[in-house]
Structure 1
């Protein structure tokens, strides 16, 4: 089972200002991801640049329209992700509970969301 741990964006992540290199958050995130890797469950993980560096394509009536960022609703944006493969939903919950506060331990530490990915067998047709 694969799960994506989604780090929700906030005004701080959308500002594009990186924390200083000695910020304990870097060490906490590195240690967490190293632990995932040692356990053999880490598939991928990364931070995303602010939406001002991105764009959206809207599809309607067989037409496409492109809109450059930034995007106003930060609560709908993603600042980063970690992709894991585990044996159960419960195991994914345990790993998610250990995820470091994405924006530090003080103040608004941020929010994560965890979603299960579809697997090929979810699309198999009954015979």
Structure 2
């Protein structure tokens, strides 16, 4: 069964280190429980603000490390993710539509499997 990543886009609040409310945490816990009980959740985590991270850039020379925070719009950064198993993109989107968010954005992408590449068995 294919795997999908549901990528939670960052917000100004998440980049400022604002933690979810107790109510939001309870809702997310219940959502994660549903994913687990359905047997589809493989992983899921929230990420700290980019100010606590770093980027490694590769460009025909030694890798360059850039400490966060990263400039630009928060929506171009990642605040968290889930990795789920779903029978199709439609099924993965059904799970994404049921995330208890009131605002924000989640990107859903299928993960490559070894069998997707030529010569793999």
Same fold per superposition (TM over 0.5): yes
- After the TM superposition, which residues 2-13 of structure 1 pair with which residues of structure 2 at under 5 Å, given as runs? 2-13=3-14
Q: Let me know the Cα RMSD of the aligned residues.
A: 1.3
The alpha-carbon deviation at position 69 of structure 1 amounts to 0.2
Q: What is aligned with 1:83?
A: 83
**Residue deviations 1:62-104 (CA, integer Å, cap 9, x gap):** 3211110000122211000011011222211111111111xxx
Structure 1, unaligned runs of 5 or more: none
SS of the counterpart of 1:32? helix
Following TM superposition, the consecutive aligned residue runs of length 4 or more in structure 1 with deviations greater than 2 angstroms are none
Deviation of the 1:115 alpha carbon: 0.6
Q: TM-score, normalised by structure 2?
A: 0.91
> Is residue 97 of structure 1 aligned with residue 97 of structure 2?
yes
SS at match of 1:60: coil
Partner of 1:64: 63
Q: How many aligned residue pairs are there?
A: 118
Paired with 1:7 and 1:88, the residues of 2 have a C-alpha distance of 20
Using the size of structure 1 for normalisation, the TM-score is: 0.87
Q: In structure 2, list runs of 5 or more residues that go unmatched.
A: none
Deviates more, 1:49-58 or 1:92-101: 92-101
Q: Deviations over 1:10-69 (max 9, x none)?
A: 11000012134x3x2111111111000000000000100000000011111132111100
Write the mapping of 1:1-127 to structure 2, written as runs, cut at 5 A: 1-20=2-21, 22=22, 24-73=23-72, 74-101=74-101, 105=102, 109-125=103-119
CA distance in 2, matches of 1:32, 1:18: 18
Inter-partner Cα distance in structure 2 for 1:56 and 1:88: 32
